[in-house]
Amino acid sequence: MAQRQPPLSTRLPPLICGTATFNNQYNPDAYALPTTAIVHEALSLGVRAFDTSPYYGPAEDLLGSALNTPFVHQKFPRRDFVLLTKVGRLSGDEFDYSAAWVRHSVQRSLERLHTDYLDAVYCHDVEFVSPAEVLTAVTELRKIRDETGVVKYVGISGYPVTILCELAEMVLEKTGEPLDLVMSYANFTLQNTRLASIALPRLEAAGVGVVPNASVLGMGLLRRKGVPIGAHGDFHPSPKELRAAIQAASAWSDAQDIKDNRLEKVAIRWAFEHWLHDGASLGSSGDPASGIPWQRENTEKYGGTKLGVSVMGVSNVEELRETMRVWRGILDGLEDGEKTAVDAGRGLDDRTWSLQRQRDVGVLARGIREKLGDWIDYTWSSPPPGFVNKRSAPAVPVPLLTPAASPDQLPKQVVVKGGSDLHSMPQT
């Protein structure tokens, strides 16, 4: 029997580096991305959690390769960072939530990520399968957790917040144990805040531990240039009318006499900052990556309260550095943020700048939302009308998973030897 873990909210950092961008949907060639440099820089900047999935093309392999390097082994013990991955989604129209496939997928992720345990595993895009299939997969992941310890925490992810709530409630009712985490994407943004208004109260009542908010740009919808076009062309499920409304709002923002008024800059800051507060009840108190050198942190410096958890996605080192600058500016503006800014070497001027930026972003965000009008809280269908799961699941022979040590018992360096086309709705 594996050792029971403390609540995930005490370990998970409030900022997670997502790797959905490490694929050919958001970018023309995932292998041309500086993924190792991104991961190393993220760790150096204090990021201590990475989210991935077998469904994100080569993302697991690329992340695993970046982590399986002397730089990481020498400076960042495995127990000091969190790895989250997923099971169940194989391709755009193939899902397999069977117990055999869940075990196969977990074993494969362990090998790809060069680790002997996974901190958290989601059932990926649960709206595409039946509740019974979700229950099967959750039950199997918990069985792996209890028997071997190679999975520490179990959750679900997806897009429609009402379905996520219904499934979280079902899991609690059927098993007597709540989910450790539930992640949604593109549901707490400048355009859509249903994750807070609809989902959060129900998920809290269902006993869910943590609710990360992913894809704060709505899968690239909230960008001046429009949705990203990768090797697979235009994947985004949003209607042309919504895109036009967002471009009109972007043009309005560009015309304002406020520095850094580009739509995506406003959208990222607004979502991070508001979810930090609005998502705090189902947030976390792990290392906030405030930038204090060589210090393992938690949220005690902010009054000991939890902070809402966000997932960021970047495609190059400059995007990462800019995102971290925004994140740390938000932290500097929190209660006791003045001390944090000083301790991190940024100084009092940075806190003053952060508070002014907060006001500027508030002005721009209100105007953008006014321009969006009836498109506020619009959501697209997931799965799309007429969707059919094309997976015919053969039996998958899977060896028993090897028990893993508790993260607190691991040695400083742990090295264990070790895709398909994406659907129109990936997530970070």
Catalytic residues: 56
Residue 196, classified by CB atoms within 10 Å of its CB into exposed (0-12), middle (13-18) or buried (19+), is: buried
In the chain, the amino acid numbered 396 is V
- Label each residue of the chain as H, E or C: CCCCCCCHHHCCCCEEEECCCCCCCCCCCHHHCCHHHHHHHHHHCCCCEEECCCCCCCHHHHHHHHHCCHHHHHHCCHHHCEEEEEECEEECCEECCCHHHHHHHHHHHHHHCCCCCEEEEEECCHHHCCHHHHHHHHHHHHHHHHHHCCEEEEEEEECCHHHHHHHHHHHHHHHCCCCCEEEEECCCCCCCCHHHHHHHHHHHHCCCCECCEECCCCCCCCCCCCCCCECCECCCCCCHHHHHHHHHHHHHHHCCCCCCCCHHHHHHHHHHHHHHHHCHHHCECCCCCCCCCCCCCCHHHHCCCCECCEEEECCCHHHHHHHHHHHHHHHHCCCCHHHHHHHCCCCHHHHHHHHHHHHHHHHHHHHHHHHHHHHCCCCCCCCCCCCCCCCCCCCCCCCCCCCCCCHHHCCCCCCCCCCCCCCCCCCC
| Contact indicator for 313, 216 with CB cutoff of 8 Å | no
Two tokens at 273? Answer: 């900052």
Q: What are phi and psi of 83, to 5 degrees?
A: -115, 125
User: Between vectors from CA 32 to CA 91 and to CA 158, what angle results, nearest 5°?
Assistant: 30
Measured distance CA(414)–CA(417) in Å, rounded: 10
Q: How many CA atoms lie within 13 A of 403 on its CB side?
A: 9
Distances (CA, A) of 97 to 116, 384, 400: 22, 19, 18
